[in-house]
Chain A
Amino acid sequence: MVVDEAELVRKVVAGDRFAYERLLALHLPSLTAYVMRMMANSADADDVIQETFLRLWTKGQRFDPARAKLTTWLHNIAHNLVIDYFRGRNRLVGEPIPDQPDEQGGPAQNYTHLNLRAEISNAMMVLPERQRSAIIMCYYQGMSNRDAAAVLDVTTDALESLMARGRRRLRSLLAEKT
C-alpha cells in the first residue's frame, strides 16, 4: 500500500498523533542509522534523533512535498543538527556506546571485529562532515545522488566530488586493512 506522506504530514501539523506515529515508524530506522554513523554511535546521537522528530511535530508546516521527499527533508534537518552539535563541541564527538560483539564467533574473533569497527569508525570521524554525510547517505542509506545533493544543498557534481575525496581518504586511512 502506498502511503501518502504529504497527507500524513498535514495531519501531523493538525495535531494528529496517530499520523505522527506512522511517520515515526516509517522514518525512524533510516534516520537513526544516518545519525548514528554521523556521530560514531555516540550517546548524544539519541538526542539529535529525538530533536529531528520533534521538528517534524513542531515545524511540519515547513515541509513542501513539491520541493522534496519527506526523507530528504528529515535527513536535511538531522544533518544540520549534527553540524550544530559538532560546532558546539568544537568537533569532538561524545563518548561512544560500546559496540556489541557478534553473536557468532569466539572471543578472539569478536575482539578483532570490535577493533576493526572501531578503526573504521575513527576513520569515518576523521572525514569532514560533508564528505562523511555524502558517503553515509549514498552508500549506507541508499539515497540517490540527487536526493543526497539536495540534503547537502549542493549540485550532484559537487556531491560526487565530496564522495570521491571521502572514499580516497578512507582508503588511505584504512590502507593496512584493505
Chain B
Amino acid sequence: MTEEQFENMLDTYGANPQHWPDEIRTEAEALLNRSDHCRQLLAPHRALDNLLDSYKARTPSSLHHRILENLPLSLSERILRWLIPGVPTDLWHPIAAACLPLVFGVIVGASTPDNWAFEDEAALSWEQEEIYLLAVGDLTPPINPRDTESLP
C-alpha cells in the first residue's frame, strides 16, 4: 500500500482501523507503523470521526409494540376479533384448542345413524325385551337321558 492509497482509505473509511476493510487492514496498519506522514494524516480524520460518534440516533419507545399491533390480521384472527372484540390475537390458538372437543362432539352427533338416536320407541322396547329375556332365561344345555340312567 502506498501513502496515497492510505490517504484515500482514510477519506473513505476514517481513522478507526476497525472501520477499515479486512482485506487491507493489516497492510494499512503496517504502513502506519513505519510512516510518520501517514500518522500525521490521521489527525483530521480522527477529529471528524469524533464528531460523527456524537451523532446519536433516537430510539423511539414502544415502537416494537406498535409494529406488532399494526400487523394485518389473518381471516381467522379477524373472525375472532369480530366475535370477541378486544381479545388479543395470540389467544386464537388456545381458544381454538378449547373449542375442538365441542366441534368433535357436534360432528360425531351429526354423523350417528338414526336408530342409534333412540327415536323409535317400539324398536327400543323390543331391544330391551330381548335383553331382559336373555338375562332371565335358562341357557344351560338340555340333559342327555342316557346320562340320567346311570345315576343311583
- Which residues of A does B touch, CB under 8 Å? 15, 17, 20-21, 24-25, 28-29, 32-34, 36-37, 41, 45-46, 49-50, 53-54, 57-58, 97, 99, 113, 116-117, 120-121, 124, 135, 138-140, 144-145, 160, 163-164, 167-168, 170-171, 174, 177-178
- Chain B residues with Cβ below 8 Å from A124 are 55
Listed stretches B64-72, B98-106, B141-149; interface member = B64-72
Q: Which 7 A-B pairs have the closest CB atoms?
A: A36-B57, A178-B47, A41-B58, A33-B57, A164-B11, A120-B55, A164-B12
Q: Chain B interface secondary structure, helix, strand, loop or mixed?
A: helix
Q: Is the CB of B72 within 8 A of A58?
A: yes
Q: Is the CB of B48 within 8 A of A174?
A: yes
Q: Is the CB of A25 within 8 A of B64?
A: yes
Give the size of the chain B interface in residues (CB under 8 angstroms). Answer: 32
Q: Is the CB of B51 within 8 A of A116?
A: yes
- Asked whether any CB of chain A lies closer than 8 Å to the CB of B17, the reply is no
Q: Is the CB of A117 within 8 A of B71?
A: no
Q: Is the CB of B74 within 8 A of A37?
A: no
How many Å lie between the Cα of A36 and that of B59 in the bound state?
8
Which B residues between 59 and 81 are near A, CB-CB below 8 angstroms? Answer: 59-60, 63-64, 66-68, 70-72, 74
Interface contacts beyond A97-B58, A164-B8: sample of 18 additional A-B pairs, CB < 8 Å, sorted by A: A21-B68, A24-B67, A28-B63, A37-B57, A46-B66, A49-B60, A50-B67, A54-B70, A57-B72, A58-B72, A116-B51, A121-B55, A139-B19, A144-B21, A144-B22, A145-B21, A163-B12, A170-B48
Q: Is the CB of B51 within 8 A of A174?
A: yes
- Given A17-B89, A145-B21, A163-B13, is A50 in contact with B66 using a C-beta cutoff of 8 Å? yes
The minimal Cβ–Cβ distance linking A98 to chain B, given in whole angstroms, is 10
The minimal Cβ–Cβ distance linking B100 to chain A, given in whole angstroms, is 20
Q: Is the CB of B57 within 8 A of A32?
A: yes
- Given A49-B63, A144-B21, A178-B48, is A117 in contact with B68 using a C-beta cutoff of 8 Å? no
- Chain B residues with Cβ below 8 Å from A177 are 47, 51
How many Å lie between the Cα of A85 and that of B49 in the bound state?
28
- Chain B residues with Cβ below 8 Å from A45 are 58, 60
Q: Is the CB of B54 within 8 A of A116?
A: yes
How many Å lie between the Cα of A99 and that of B74 in the bound state?
39
The minimal Cβ–Cβ distance linking A92 to chain B, given in whole angstroms, is 19
Q: Is the CB of B71 within 8 A of A139?
A: no
Q: Is the CB of B55 within 8 A of A117?
A: yes
- Chain B residues with Cβ below 8 Å from A99 are 56, 58
Q: Is the CB of A32 within 8 A of B63?
A: yes
How many Å lie between the Cα of A41 and that of B55 in the bound state?
10
The minimal Cβ–Cβ distance linking A93 to chain B, given in whole angstroms, is 13
